[in-house]
Every structure is written in structure tokens, then in C-alpha cells.
Amino acid sequence: MSRAVPEQKRTWTTGTAPGIFPLLGHGIALYRRPLAFLNSLPAHGDLVEIRLGPQRAWMVCHPELTHDVLMDPHTFDKGGPLYDRLGKLMGDGLVTCRQATHRDKRRLLQPGFRPSHVAAYTDLVTEEAAALCDAWPAGGTVPVTEAMTTLSTRVISRVLLSDSLDDPTTAEVRDCLTDVVRGLFVRTVVPIDALFRLPTPANRRYRNALSRLHTIIDAVIAERRRGADRDDVLGTLLAATRADGAAAPISGQEVHDHLITLLLTGVETQALCLASAFSLLARHPEAERRLYAELDAVLPGGRRPGPDDLPHLVQTRCVVSETLRHSSPGWLFTRVTTRDTELAGCRLPEGATVLYSPYLLHHDPSSFPDPERFDPDRWLPGRPTAEQRRAMMPFSAGNRKCIGDEFAMVEAVLALATIAGRRRLRHLPGHVEEKPRPGITMGPRSLVMACASRSATPSAVPATPRATAAPRASDSRTAGDHGVHNT
């Protein structure tokens, strides 16, 4: 099924994308028609040269070649236009740091995201999801994207900061993150700083959101320093500033950078994944009926799921997995070469920008037949092939794979099960699917849907048998080995 062949027989093709424009390069096409531009590239080779502004860059268009890049982080390190821009926001956090410092940073944060620890977050996620959807008026409309962003902001802020953010501040963080994510993308694909120093409304909105976000995080850190220790990620970070000699203490700036990083990676992508899931389900009634049937069997009466229910939410997990394949929020990433090297037979100089796109890999028909079709059953236990599991990488791969992959998957499954168990979301009459508006993430940014009580929804399709357990996300051989972040 996959185009991958044994290493000794593999023949890579390289090429150059047509239509290089002066000054802006291919950035304008990537910004205006991102998916069409990406889909056009494999016809020119497995590794295709493009231009971002005046800079040369190379897009990887094959899953095996992408793994070659991601499994060699010492040669293909974090960097390039995306991470250069992210670094100005996140500082030297886990996402943007270079390989030399990555291990120590990951070791510091890993305990808060271990699978055993994630189970403790179940009540937190379902409590927030239930409170959110129970406030929706049956028979009314719901701003789904905004609601999912509120949910993911509340969840990740409680994981990181306990109850340090009140409701108005949580809403402000949500809005700031939304403005920052949108502004970052155009600064990545058109890396011409002079354009962004102009006093346009968009530039002012971006700078104001960035400033306010940093101010809020600084205030939370200062307040916590004056108070009691808490068992959350901020507590772990502050304890690390008082290292007892087992490791070098981290600085206050590092505490700040880690919090900004985890907020940014934990809000927008998760919200867009959930919004996409509800939109896709509304357009695919068979998949929706199967989901409802499972929820009615596993969670009768719309009760909130607990940790013991997770292995039985097979169809729910498949919906999340297929959403991540079909509409991956994290859609474009960059690396930079640390030395002169060769990739696909092409010589790349030190400092070269290399890009890969989960969207492109997930829509390759040789890996996923009929890739535009939303089919959660692709991910039923035993169904995905080894090649499909390798091509599916919205969480990246290698030792820079997202630290929060298991948490993100559990959060999405629990939120989807809680909300869909109580409410049914339908597209409004005359609904037209949004044209993709690219940012650092991609997804439905202004989705509004009609809301109905699930009590009026029939479940006509038999549920997945309760005895069938869902694969563990921590097992790299299963459909759960993917998600929405990239660290």
C-alpha cells in the first residue's frame, strides 16, 4: 500500500516547485491556497525545492523520507522560519530549543505527562466538558470553535497552573493565543520583517496579544512564588529553580518559557481537533451513529466517562484518530540542517530549511486510499497497516515527538465522549465548509452549529462490543500513537 520500499532498493526523486515569484517566493501560494499548494508538490518529487521569501527551502513529500529527517535530530534540528518565529514567543522552551538542550528540558517536564499521571486528569477534563455543554441551549446555536478553545484553555491552564486563572483571565488567554497563532503563520511563510513593523491593525493586534500573554504568565508566576507549593506543572518548574544539587537549577525565564510553550501547544491544536471532529461527524451520519451507539452502550444516560471507560471507547478513539488524519491541526513544520548533508540524493548546505507536512503525508493516496473520505473504521484494532502507522504523524516522531501525546489523545477522547453523550451538533441550513485559513495550526476557526439534546437522537447502529478494548496510545504500534502537538 505504501510507496516505501527496502532501503537498498529505494530511489528518491527530487525537483523544484514551479512558479517562483520575486521576493515572496512560494509563500504567497502557501498562504492563499495552502492545501492545493501542498497537494501539487508530490508530482515534482519526494523532495521538492521551494522558496519562502528570498530563502530556499526543501519540502519532504514522502513518509519514509520524513522519518529519515525526524529520526536524525542532530542533523535536522529544530529551526527554520517557523521555529525562528516561535522562539520570539516561546523563548527557549521545549518546542523551540535546539537538540543539545532538549533532553534536560524534557526530563524536567516528563513526569507531568506520563500515562499514569494522565489518568488523574480524567475528572478535570470531563468536569470542564460537561459544564461547557450543559450550558448550551437545546434548540439554539453554539459557537463551536470558540467553545472548544475555551474548553482546551481551561483544561491546560488547570493542568499547568491549578486554579491560578479566574474566568475572565482564562478568556483573555484564549483570545490572546488565537491572535498570536494566526499572526505567527504569515510571519513564517513571508519572513520579511519590514512588513510586520508597519502599524497595521493586524500587526498591532499581534503585538498586543503577545505582550498581554507574557504579562499574564509573569503575574501568575509572581503570585505563586508568594504562596504555597502546588502539585502542578508550575509547582514542578518552581521547585526546579531551587535545585538541591542533583541538577542545575533552572532560571525564572525558563519557567516563563516553558509555561508559554505548553499553553500555546495545548490550546489551539486541541480545540481545532475537537471542532473538526464535530463538523466531520455532522457531515457523515453513519460515523456519527456508530459513535452514538457506542456512547449509549458504554456511558448510558450520558454519564461522564471515567478512567475505566477509556479502553471501551473504541469508536470514539477511532473518530479522534481519523480527525487527526483527515484534518490535522498541526499541518506544517520545519527543521534546519546543522551541517552539510545529503537527503534523497540532494546535497543540502548547513543551515538549509527542510519542511514536512502531516497534512500532505496523511492525504497521500498510496498510504491512505481515498484520503478525502472521513472513515474512522480505518483505525479499528488490527486495521491500520505498518505503513499507515508510520505515515500518520501529527505528533511528529523520534525523540522530539510531543511530550503531551498521550494527554492530548485522552483529553480529546474524553471531551468528545462527554459532549457527544449529551448533545448533538448539526450544521446550520446552508452551511458551507470554511475555506482553510492557515495559521501555525489549521482548522475551522469560526464554526457555528445547531445544538440539540441527545435524548432525541436515535442510535440505530450496533455499538462496538464492550469486550473489545481500544489500543493504548503509549503503544507505538497502535492507532493511538499520534496527536496534535510537536515538541
- The predicted-structure confidence for 380-411, as pLDDT tens digits, reads as follows 999 999 999 999 988 777 777 777 678 889 99
Cα-based distances in Å from 383 to 27, 379, 388: 38, 6, 10
149 pLDDT above the threshold of 70: yes
202 pLDDT above the threshold of 70: yes
Of 178-187, 319-328, 476-485, where does the model show the most confidence? 319-328
1 pLDDT above the threshold of 60: no
Spatial CA neighbour of 118 closest among 164, 90, 155, 173 = 155
Q: What's the rounded mean pLDDT across residues 79-93?
A: 70
Residues 484, 270 contacting (CB under 8 angstroms): yes
DSSP assignments along 376-441, one per residue? GGGGSTT-S-HHHHHH--TT--GGGS-TTHHHHHHHHHHHHHHHHTTEEEEEPTT--PPPP--SSB
Residue position matching grid coordinates 480505518: 378
CA–CA distance, 146 with 446 (Å, rounded to integer): 7
Q: What's the rounded mean pLDDT across residues 142-151?
A: 95
Q: What's the rounded mean pLDDT across residues 118-130?
A: 88
pLDDT at site 314: 97
CA–CA distance, 319 with 417 (Å, rounded to integer): 10
Would you give the DSSP letter of residue 91? -
pLDDT at site 27: 73
Within 10 angstroms of residue 416's Cβ, the number of other Cβ atoms is: 25
375 pLDDT above the threshold of 50: yes
pLDDT at site 59: 94
283 pLDDT above the threshold of 80: yes
pLDDT at site 318: 97
- When comparing pLDDT for 393 and 279, which is higher? 279
Grid cell for residue 95? 518546542
| Identity of the residue numbered 406 | E
In the chain, the N- to C-terminal Cα span, in Å, equals: 29
- Helix (H) / strand (E) element for 468: namely none
Residues 288-315 pLDDT 10s: 999 999 999 999 988 999 999 999 999 9
Q: What's the rounded mean pLDDT across residues 200-204?
A: 87
Grid cell for residue 209? 496579544
CA–CA distance, 130 with 407 (Å, rounded to integer): 18
CA–CA distance, 87 with 232 (Å, rounded to integer): 24
Cα-based distances in Å from 7 to 13, 64, 101, 199: 14, 10, 31, 52
CA–CA distance, 343 with 69 (Å, rounded to integer): 8
Strand partners, 51: 56
Residues 131-145 pLDDT 10s: 999 999 888 999 999
Q: What's the rounded mean pLDDT across residues 455-469?
A: 42
CA–CA distance, 32 with 314 (Å, rounded to integer): 37
In this prediction, residue 244 has a pLDDT band, given cuts at 50, 70 and 90, of low
Contacts 24+ apart (CB under 8 A), 375-380: 375/287, 375/322, 376/287, 376/290, 376/291, 376/315, 376/318, 376/319, 376/321, 376/322, 377/318, 378/318, 378/321, 378/322, 378/325, 378/479, 379/317, 379/318, 379/321, 379/322, 379/479, 380/314, 380/318, 380/479
| Identity of the residue numbered 32 | R
Q: What's the rounded mean pLDDT across residues 156-176?
A: 87
In this prediction, residue 456 has a pLDDT band, given cuts at 50, 70 and 90, of very low
Cα-based distances in Å from 73 to 32, 63, 335, 396, 440: 31, 16, 9, 12, 21
Spatial CA neighbour of 155 closest among 441, 421, 418 = 418
pLDDT at site 24: 60
In this prediction, residue 243 has a pLDDT band, given cuts at 50, 70 and 90, of low
Q: What is the pTM of this model?
A: 0.84
CA–CA distance, 218 with 224 (Å, rounded to integer): 10
Residues 8-61 pLDDT 10s: 456 788 888 876 555 567 777 777 788 888 999 999 999 999 987 778 899 999
